[in-house]
Amino acid sequence: MSRFLEAEINLTQLAENFKQIKQYLNEKKASCKTIAIIKADAYGHGAIESAKCYEALGVDYLGVAFFEEALILRESGIKSKILMLFDREIEGVFKNNLTPVVFDYKQAKMLSKEAEKRGMILPIHVKVETGMGRLGIYENPCNAIKEIANLKNLKIEGIMSHLSIAEDKDWTQNQVEKLMKIRDCLRKFGLTPIFHIANSRGLFYENALFDAVRPGLMLYGYGSVNSQIIVKPCMTVKTKILDIRKLPAGMPISYGGTFKTKRESLIGVIPVGYADGYLRGLSNKAMVIVKGEKVPVVGTICMDLTMIDLTQIKDVEINDDVILMGEKNQEKITAEDIATWANTIPYEVLICLGSKAKRKYIQ
């Protein structure tokens, strides 16, 4: 027997989120392309299904972190352009028609050499440093890009950078201006690739839109900061009650005895723990939904089990549904709620829960 932990993905809502972002872009800057980010298995939603959804809606690029993620997409028949963000893979790029992001000259040179061997010209995007301190050309980017452009068998299709404090307007403006300077410099040399820097949060700065944007989180229904883009979560995570026990007042629950019942209590046990990405930091903090009511997680979350206080719930039975993330009746628990309880960010919550649960897709 396997545990019941299910992530239900609503593909209609996923498509709707994509459309909402497209519609916003059409209003702000119709020429702006969309690079849908599907790294980390599409933030736990399943990269293949998400890619198919965006492909059907005419996405310009799919963005993955590593080569293997791109390979899986190609093997499942995805034909869209794929931007590979963080990988020095050479051969696989050619065999699978990928667009690599180049972050140093050495990598560019190797790609050019391989392209020459194959008698072709490879389109690439070049990454420049503007304040993220992660990857990208830092020293004299305009010159460095020119040198890469001089490599015979590469064509610079795009120049990109990444926002590091997208909630800070001034800092973001500073990063945007650095990228604009590089754009202006390259124009003088007749180089006019597309430029992109905006992640989801960056969509709300009009001058960060450039020629393309790279939304991730917002595709999955989180991170919109105003009503200009209305997205909704598309993942519901559920389990079922494994056991229900009536326990007296003063009874310690779970490791460390961090919770003691204050009254005679009905304690439910669910077959989910930190092994499933239900973070241990949620101990004594999280709520779950049972029969349309919110109830608290009590005691420390174990590797495979978690206890919940069902005392207030009428007629609750073994095998009843427990919603860890999602909605029922008027009650709702979002990845943001869970992130707050666990002192993390919704990105991590989606990936933790979405990647361990059995996924079920609904239309």
Which stretch in 88-96, 212-220, 293-301, 321-329 sits in contact with ligand PLP by CB under 6 A?
212-220
238 lines the binding site for ligand PLP (CB under 6 A) = no
291 lines the binding site for ligand PLP (CB under 6 A) = no
Out of 216, 221, 268, 271, the only residue in the binding site for ligand PLP (CB under 6 A) is: 216
**Per-residue x/- marks for ligand PLP, 72-91, CB under 6 A?**
-------------x------
| Shortest Å distance, C-beta 324 to ligand PLP | 22
With contact defined as beta carbons under 8 Å apart, do 105 and 139 qualify? Answer: no
Out of 17, 99, 107, 199, the only residue in the binding site for ligand PLP (CB under 6 A) is: 199
DSSP letter for each residue of 140-164: SHHHHHHHHHTSTTEEEEEEE---S
Out of 46, 100, 215, 268, the only residue in the binding site for ligand PLP (CB under 6 A) is: 215
Q: Which residues contact 119 (CB under 8 A, 6 or more apart)?
A: none
**Does the annotation count 39 as an active-site position?**
yes
Closest CA to 114 of 74, 153, 67, 71: 153
How far are the Cα atoms of 5, 40, 199 from residue 275, in angstroms, in the given order? Answer: 12, 18, 30
Out of 162, 238, 291, 356, the only residue in the binding site for ligand PLP (CB under 6 A) is: 162
Strands annotated E in 233-292? 235-240, 243-247, 252-253, 259-260, 265-270, 287-290
Which helix H or strand E contains 75, and what residues bound it?
Answer: helix 67-75
Q: Which of 19, 138, 181, 255 is catalytic?
A: 255
131 lines the binding site for ligand PLP (CB under 6 A) = no
* DSSP code of residue 175: H
- Of 197 and 305, which has the nearer Cβ to ligand PLP? 197
Site for ligand PLP in 17-56 (CB under 6 A): 37, 39
Q: Which residues contact 159 (CB under 8 A, 6 or more apart)?
A: 125, 126, 127, 128, 145, 179, 182, 183, 186, 193, 194, 195, 196
How many residues belong to the site for ligand PLP (CB under 6 A)? 12
**Does the annotation count 61 as an active-site position?**
no
| Shortest Å distance, C-beta 57 to ligand PLP | 17
**Per-residue x/- marks for ligand PLP, 304-343, CB under 6 A?**
----------------------------------------
- Of 73 and 310, which has the nearer Cβ to ligand PLP? 73
Indicate the burial class of 283 (C-beta count within 10 angstroms; 0-12, 13-18, 19 or more): buried
Angular region, 87: left φ>0, alpha ψ -120 to 50, beta rest: beta
Token pair recorded at residue 116? 């020459």
- Of 35 and 290, which has the nearer Cβ to ligand PLP? 35
Which stretch in 71-79, 142-150, 198-206, 280-288 sits in contact with ligand PLP by CB under 6 A?
198-206
Q: Which of 39, 238, 291, 356 is catalytic?
A: 39
Out of 13, 200, 265, 283, the only residue in the binding site for ligand PLP (CB under 6 A) is: 200
Q: What b/e sequence results for 129-144 when a residue is b if at least 16 CB atoms lie within 10 Å of its CB, and e otherwise?
A: bbbbeebbbeeebbeb
- Residues annotated as catalytic are 39, 255
User: Which stretches of the chain bind ligand PLP, using CB under 6 A?
Assistant: 37, 39, 85, 162, 199-201, 214-218
